[in-house]
């Protein structure tokens, strides 16, 4: 069996467990990054051209489907589990860049895609889904702006996580 410079076994003949964990973080954060890129740069401009009733009707059709999409759960759970696996497998080298970057990425995944989504975005969706498009409540524009802002925050956090995971992988593979 082959071993890396830290004494860890290679899976197959060339890829270590740490590398596999980081590859998975890159894949899952890449998937979520792409989804948020489409949402913020394609759907947001489209929705911003709608009047309030159109915005409410669009999200009344979109959100129930998006909330149940298996791909969303797979991407978010995959990000959290893969990043935790990366941190755990790199834990014996806590001062090295791959570990530090993986730990930062893990915290970003917890804070953005997981906590901001569940604690802030989802309750905002509930408010929007409670609207009657033909009789919008006072202050609906503030809720709409919160919808856009939370998506941009989650996107930015995810894009940074993607970058740090990719950097950790490049450094780890380059250091072998």
DSSP state letters, 46-81: HHHTS-HHHHHHHHHHHHHHHHH-HHHHHHHHHHHH
Identify whether the C-beta of residue 145 lies closer than 8 Å to the C-beta of residue 115.
Answer: no
Of 67, 70, 156, 66, give the one whose Cα is nearest residue 111.
156
Is this prediction's pTM over 0.85? Answer: yes
pLDDT in tens, 113-171: 899 999 999 999 999 999 999 999 999 999 999 999 999 999 999 999 999 999 999 99
pLDDT band at 2 (very low <50, low <70, confident <90, very high): low
119 secondary structure, DSSP code: I
Q: Which residues pair with 9 in a beta bridge?
A: 3
| φ/ψ bin of 131: left (φ > 0), alpha (ψ from -120 to 50), beta (otherwise) | beta
């Amino acid at each position: 069996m082959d071993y890396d410079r830290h004494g860890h076994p290679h899976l197959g003949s060339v890829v270590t467990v740490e590398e596999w964990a980081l590859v998975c973080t890159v894949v899952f954060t890449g998937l979520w990054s792409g989804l948020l890129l489409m949402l913020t740069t394609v759907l947001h401009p489209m929705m911003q051209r709608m009047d309030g009733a159109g915005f409410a009707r669009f999200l009344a059709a979109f959100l129930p489907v998006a909330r149940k999409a298996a791909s969303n759960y797979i991407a978010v759970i995959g990000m959290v589990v893969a990043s935790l696996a990366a941190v755990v497998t790199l834990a014996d080298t806590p001062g090295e860049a791959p570990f530090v970057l993986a730990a930062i990425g893990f915290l970003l995944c917890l804070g953005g895609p997981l906590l901001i989504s569940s604690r802030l975005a989802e309750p905002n969706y509930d408010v929007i889904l409670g609207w009657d498009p033909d009789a919008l409540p006072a202050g609906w524009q503030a809720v709409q702006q919160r919808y856009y802002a939370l998506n941009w925050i989650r996107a930015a956090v995810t894009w940074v996580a993607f970058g740090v995971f990719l950097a950790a992988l490049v450094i780890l593979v380059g250091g072998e």
